[in-house]
Amino acid sequence: MEIKVLKFGGSSLADSNQFKKVAAIIKSKDSRRYIIASAPGKRDSGDQKITDLLYESYILSQKNEDIDEIFKKIEDRFNRIIEELELDFSLKDEFKKIKSSIYNHIGMDYILSRGEYLNSMILAKYLGYDFIDAEKRILFSEDGTLDRQNTDLVLGELLKKHKRAVIPGFYGSMSDGTIKTFSRGGSDITGSIVARAVEADVYENWTDVSGMLMADPRCVEEPKVIDLITYKELRELSYMGATIMHEEAIFPVKQSGIPINIRNTNLPEDKGTMIVAKARSENTDRIITGIAGRTGFTTIHIEKDMMNQEVGFGRKVLKILENHSIPFEHIPTGIDTMSIIVNSNLMVDNKEVIKNEICKTVNPDIIDIEDGLAMIAVVGRGMVEEKGTAMKVFSSINKASINVKMIDQGSSEINIIIGVDEKDYILALRTIYSEFVE
């Protein structure tokens, strides 16, 4: 029998009305068996997420201040959902336990995790599914990273015994039983872990958008939705800031080749975006899958005659950056030139020091450190087969009179990265988008 794992984000479970939509989605297919729930999110832009309220109560308790008012808000949110869904069910004892844990300064992760815990209990009750706590099932190693092997084993074995279950997202526990959360938005990771443990056919990630867009809608007007994207393409785009879910959520399912389907709880008939392990390059009617970019890069440009013959030149320069804990983003090189692109935030106070150290160590003819670079990644598996894509990118931005400051094509040929001045960033994005997308 087909198995689908579904994760619903905070906005999908923000109130009773959203719960009803979620239940209708789940019940519409028999294969939708394992459900991961987030804590209730914002109902409107002025609202607060339950996780944020829990965090506030934790902070207040740390200062030994009263948490009654804030905790009442949390209780009211859950009670209202229960009431409006007409459930014969009370969380009174749970509230009491959590509140006293906050007063007793039980760890922050435990408190933050309670939004998912309580919401999953309600959802399980509403659906008539089993509630399976993530505590002692999603396991963390001593270094705080996920203990993949044991989690797969424990969770896989347990879920075999439950045909249908709701599992809270966002947290698990350490070997001593202490609750530990992932970073914010971590329910996406739980969904991926569960999908792998039950060897799901698909991991459906339900949110409030109809999939991943081909470009940032703040820069490009009404960009199209990406129907199909590979994990690799997604990685390239999310490096440039185009995120649709928690970055780490890809890894558990990627290993088992389970596809992820991003769906919209408010428009369930939309097909959304499929994220897959492999897709043939001809399996797309578009050359590019998406475009994303970021501002805030600095270029360290170095020139020296006969640089290409100087063994260890690059290593010595990179060592200086390493000593300042600065990772590099890109290193486009020429015969006698080398440019290193780094995040400007990491070079705010140490520009002169680094410049001097490079001068002393490798004695360049020219060294120039320049801020204000934006990078744009044009990503698409369709580019592998198609000739002339780079030319199309460059001629379009040339027509828009934009100066290209850097070019880098990844060895996998699925991306072209170009650097432009920050002032040209949005125009460059729009120009490239309209060149490739009608």
Using rule CB under 6 A, residue 186 touches ligand ASP: yes
Contacts of residue 295, Cβ cutoff 8 Å, sequence gap at least 6: 373, 374, 422, 425
Residues in 56-85 that interact with ligand ASP by CB under 6 A: none
Question: Under rule CB under 6 A, how many of the chain's residues touch ligand ASP?
Answer: 12
Question: Residues 115, 252, 364, 419: which binds ligand ASP (CB under 6 A)?
Answer: 115
Looking at the DSSP bridge assignments, the partners of residue 292 are: 377
Sheet order of strands, 404-409 included: 337-343, 290-303, 366-379, 415-421, 404-409
Using rule CB under 6 A, residue 113 touches ligand ASP: no
- E strands along 163-265, which residues? 165-168, 171-173, 179-181, 202-207, 228-230, 260-264
Give the residue with the Cβ less far from ligand ASP, 192 or 415. 192
Q: How far apart are alpha carbons 43 and 210 in whole angstroms?
A: 18
Question: Residues 18, 51, 273, 284: which binds ligand ASP (CB under 6 A)?
Answer: 51
Give the residue with the Cβ less far from ligand ASP, 14 or 202. 14
Residues in 268-307 that interact with ligand ASP by CB under 6 A: none
* Of residues 32, 6, 1, 2, the one with CA closest to residue 260: 6
Residues in 315-334 that interact with ligand ASP by CB under 6 A: none
With b for 16 or more beta-carbon neighbours within 10 A and e for fewer, the 298-310 pattern comes to: bbbbbebeebeee
**Three-state SS at 327:** coil
Using rule CB under 6 A, residue 33 touches ligand ASP: no
**Three-state SS at 18:** helix
Q: How far apart are alpha carbons 257 and 314 in whole angstroms?
A: 37
Question: Residues 72, 73, 184, 423: which binds ligand ASP (CB under 6 A)?
Answer: 184
Question: Residues 39, 132, 249, 274: which binds ligand ASP (CB under 6 A)?
Answer: 39
Using rule CB under 6 A, residue 187 touches ligand ASP: yes
The pattern of x and - marking residues 162 through 181 that bind ligand ASP according to CB under 6 A reads: -------xx-----------
The pattern of x and - marking residues 118 through 147 that bind ligand ASP according to CB under 6 A reads: ------------------------------
327 phi/psi in degrees, rounded to 5: -80, 155
Q: How far apart are alpha carbons 214 and 202 in whole angstroms?
A: 22
Q: How far apart are alpha carbons 86 and 73 in whole angstroms?
A: 20
Stretch that binds ligand ASP, among 183-191, 277-285, 328-336, 388-396 (CB under 6 A): 183-191
Question: Residues 12, 18, 38, 415: which binds ligand ASP (CB under 6 A)?
Answer: 38
Question: For binding to ligand ASP (CB under 6 A), which residues are involved?
Answer: 10, 38-39, 49, 51, 115, 169-170, 184-187
